[in-house]
Amino acid sequence: MMNDSARLDGKVVAVTGAGRGIGRDVALLCARQGASVVVNDLGTSAHGEGADTGPAAAVAAMIRDQGGKAVANGASVAEPAGAASIIADAIAHFGRIDGVVNNAGILRDRIFHKMSIVDWQRVMDVHLNGAFYVAKAAAPHFKDQGSGSYVHFTSTSGLVGNVGQANYAAAKMGIFALSNAIALDMRRFGVRSNCIAPFAWSRLVATIPAIEVDDEGATARMQTMTTDKIAPMVAALLSDGARDVNGQTFGGTRFSCSTSRARSERCSGRRAGQPAASCATCCPRWRAT
């Protein structure tokens, strides 16, 4: 049975990019664990084109149909006013904000010499600027109440690099640095900030062209790494069970994770879907549940 400190009862969580993929599964799990959820999604294509309020509305409706509390927000995180409206909706509908999940993203992959200024700017605007805008909007509320949790999504493309993703890699490495800086600045107010560098088969991953095909079964294996396997880690980091976890970056596969600040460690998880158990092994500040 889940320890009460690992649940999200009474908390209010805003999840960006929550209409599909990882964000959708995060929003649904947070609601099942008792949180009220602001489901944000502009509803663009994987490349950031168009807009559709349908995905966010559908996820919010699903949460309500299951007995939870949720409101849809269709604003763009790439605009300061849009990002601020996400936090404003949390306050207006649920009276507070306890957690922010910066998940929204797009891809505009190009080999570097062919990458346009527009390709660069749009990816930066959504990933890095968007993470800053949403985090900044929540910061005064977190400070005043003496608590709050940020969970940002970085990527091994930023930490290691990837072909054709200079814009995405730079933005994701920026998010890693932003999270660490927030952790240092806001810890005095009881606020924590952590990153996840996940891998899951999603709508965005499916758009990346294969550079080499060494194994005919590689894609099939990747497709088993579904987005719902990431959500438990996010929910755990938002919970009071992770109250002493700050300035960390978690990443890995279904069965292992690594944490890094100044150094990196690895541990083997007890089994998939139980991140709190595995992270207690490699991170002594984690309150195991």
Q: What percent of the chain has pLDDT over 90?
A: 66
Per-residue pLDDT, 4 = 67
pLDDT in tens, 14-30: 999 999 999 999 999 99
> Are 17 and 287 in contact, with CB atoms under 8 Å apart?
no
Per-residue pLDDT, 2 = 52
Q: What is the mean pLDDT of the chain?
A: 83
Catalytic residue among 94, 133, 153, 168: 168
Q: What is the mean pLDDT of residues 84-103?
A: 98
Q: Is the pLDDT of residue 1 over 60?
A: no
Beta bridge pairs of residue 266:
258
Q: CA-to-CA distance for 20 and 203, rounded, in angstroms? A: 8
Lowest mean pLDDT among 34-38, 180-184, 262-266: 262-266
168 is known as an active-site residue:
yes
Q: What is the mean pLDDT of residues 118-141?
A: 98
Per-residue pLDDT, 223 = 59
> Are 171 and 124 in contact, with CB atoms under 8 Å apart?
yes
Q: What is the mean pLDDT of residues 165-194?
A: 97
Q: Which structure tokens are listed for 30?
A: 């947070």
Per-residue pLDDT, 156 = 84
Q: What is the mean pLDDT of residues 105-112?
A: 93
Q: CA-to-CA distance for 229 and 140, rounded, in angstroms? A: 32
pTM: predicted TM-score of the whole model, two decimal places: 0.82
Residue with tokens 């149909």: 65
Handedness of CA 152, 153, 159, 163 (dihedral sign): negative
Closest CA to 129 of 194, 174, 69: 174
Q: What is the mean pLDDT of residues 150-175?
A: 92
pLDDT in tens, 30-87: 999 999 999 999 998 777 778 889 999 999 999 999 999 999 999 999 999 999 999 9
| Residue 176, helix vs strand vs coil | helix
Phi-psi bin for 253: left (phi > 0), alpha (psi -120 to 50), beta? Answer: beta
Q: Is the pLDDT of residue 128 over 90?
A: yes
**Mind giving me the DSSP string for 211-225?**
S--S-TTHHHHHHTS
Q: Is the pLDDT of residue 274 over 80?
A: no
Q: CA-to-CA distance for 256 and 110, rounded, in angstroms? A: 31
Q: Is the pLDDT of residue 215 over 80?
A: no
